[in-house]
Amino acid sequence: MTKAYWIARVDVNDQDGYPLYVETAKPAFQRFGAVFLARGGKTNAVEGPGRARNVIIEFPSFQDAVDCYNSPEYQQAVKVRQKVADGEIVIVEGI
């Protein structure tokens, strides 16, 4: 089975509110076997505008990655995140 990855690029607008998103999303990540490979940290946007926070999350399969995003648990977290941050998430199949 081929692994898959969420690539998330985020600008946090409300630092105090962001931890609530992290806690709200945790059950979905646990349920679908998410492994964080990169979470914030130092970046260097060598092409394009970039974002302040970049996250790479590995999932056991593409379907797990899609199902995690669409799960009721994560959709609850989306509502929180969209109030405190701007960003994009792309799901990519591994090789």
What confidence score (pLDDT) does residue 34 get?
A: 98
Structure tokens given for 19: 């931890």
What confidence score (pLDDT) does residue 1 get?
A: 85
Q: What is the pLDDT of residues 27-84, one digit of tens each?
A: 999 999 999 999 988 999 999 989 999 999 999 999 999 999 999 999 999 999 999 9
The pLDDT confidence band at residue 11, using thresholds 50, 70 and 90, is very high
User: Which residue range forms the structural domain that includes residue 88?
Assistant: 4-42+51-93
Burial class (CB in 10 A: 0-12, 13-18, 19+), 85: buried
Q: Which CATH number do you get for residue 29?
A: 3.30.70.100
Burial class (CB in 10 A: 0-12, 13-18, 19+), 31: middle
Number of structural domains found in the chain: 1
CB atoms within 10 A of CB 36: 12
What confidence score (pLDDT) does residue 40 get?
A: 85
The pLDDT confidence band at residue 89, using thresholds 50, 70 and 90, is very high
